[in-house]
Amino acid sequence: MDASTTPHSLSARYQAVRAHSLALAAPLSAEDAAAQSMPDASPAKWHLAHTTWFFETFLLEAHEAGFAPFHPAFRVLFNSYYNGVGAKHPRPQRGLLTRPGLGEVLAYRAHVDAHMAHLLSRAEEGSALGVLVELGLQHEQQHQELLLTDVLHLFSCNPLAPAYRAAVREPGNAAAPPLAWWEHPGGLVQIGHAGAGFAFDNELPRHAVHLAPHALADRLVSNAEFAAFLADGGYQRPELWLAEGWDWRTTQGITQPMYWRSAPTGGWNVFGLDGEQPLRPQAPVSQLSYFEADAYARWAGARLPTEAEWERAAVDTAAAAHDPGGGAPGLFGEVWQWTQSSYAPYPGFRTAPGAVGEYNGKFMVNQYVLRGSSCATPPGHARASYRNFFPATARWQFSGLRLARDL
């Protein structure tokens, strides 16, 4: 993990990231912020506290002279999965934490921020302290997206169908452009983080991968295309599904994407952060599990890309556009894209010592990699080598798909 910021810029970045979390929580009532809609989700109040806990536990406790915790019990209440730190409050019971209240959690944030200000004044560029601060900020940005996806799931459970934000005026319902393909001849390519700038440990080390000749779709699968899959009985055809996926679908009674709802006048509405709105045919389909994405790809006569194929497409199209941070439309900023790659360590991967080493490595089993970023990903948090990951049944994230095929 690299740090390339001075104390001044790191302090400014710290303030900006922390302020963005508060801005995301601002539309919520205290009741909204305390509720937990399912075991996989967390209350917004918990996200605000846990990201603060990270800075208190891994930075202030280790580096501040005369450190004293804001509240001793918070060490357990807001520990997520760091066994090396100690005991944890059970994840499915986070919604039972009516105390501390939202006001006390906000006071906790302000307290830690004040103490971090002194620490940041001596966090030198490239130092171990600077690297750890940057990890905490990247961690908070991950939770900013989770806060939104968890609030969306919470509001979807409410019969009032509340909106988190006002509806955004969208362009008309023109169909998505015809599908075209980016062809790659195959061969030996390099993937993984390269150069300066931050990277999570799971993006390293950079290494060679052999690709067979293949092609990736030049855009994401649209709502209209996924609606055709539904109309063709896609959720009732076991031959399209992996065996485990079919068992999951039938056991859970899943017949459509998570937030699609039958419209009173026919067709579909979609519940989103702006409440329930008519389905936009040209928009990327979202809130899909790996199993749903895989079944659609098989129905379409294609497959999901590997993460190496996706990364090379992102790097190559960015180079063609002379934009190292960009690339073709839809690779970033709309939906995370499922790949067929299991989440596993890269060759030569090593976990960092101590509790911070628990960040990624211990989750490298029974999960699949998603690439890109979504409409809920904070600005500046995406890059071509970024590896998101979730279990195959996860469907409350902004997750969709891009097709691939062999040549």
pLDDT band, very low/low/confident/very high, at 7 (cuts 50, 70, 90): low
Supply the angle between the helices 290-299 and 223-231 in degrees, to the nearest 10: 80
pLDDT band, very low/low/confident/very high, at 322 (cuts 50, 70, 90): very low
Hey, what are 347's tokens? 């060759």
158, amino acid identity:
N
Rounded CA gap, 116 and 97, in Å?
26
Rounded CA gap, 309 and 301, in Å?
18
pLDDT band, very low/low/confident/very high, at 47 (cuts 50, 70, 90): very high
**Looking at the predicted structure, is the pLDDT value of residue 110 above 80?**
yes
Rounded CA gap, 237 and 251, in Å?
15
According to the model, what pLDDT value does residue 357 have?
67
pLDDT band, very low/low/confident/very high, at 125 (cuts 50, 70, 90): low
Phi, psi (rounded to 5 degrees) for 82:
-85, 95
According to the model, what pLDDT value does residue 86 have?
92
* Site of tokens 């929580």: 25
**Looking at the predicted structure, is the pLDDT value of residue 298 above 60?**
yes
To the nearest whole number, what is the mean pLDDT of the chain?
93
pLDDT band, very low/low/confident/very high, at 3 (cuts 50, 70, 90): very low
Instruction: Say what percent of the chain tops pLDDT 70.
Output: 93
User: How does pLDDT run across 132-148, given as a tens digit for each residue?
Assistant: 999 999 999 999 999 99
Mean pLDDT value across residues 5-14: 80
User: How does pLDDT run across 180-233, given as a tens digit for each residue?
Assistant: 999 999 999 999 999 888 999 999 999 999 999 999 999 999 999 999 999 999
pLDDT band, very low/low/confident/very high, at 355 (cuts 50, 70, 90): low
Lowest mean pLDDT among 39-48, 74-83, 161-170: 161-170
pLDDT band, very low/low/confident/very high, at 4 (cuts 50, 70, 90): very low
pLDDT band, very low/low/confident/very high, at 261 (cuts 50, 70, 90): very high
According to the model, what pLDDT value does residue 29 have?
98
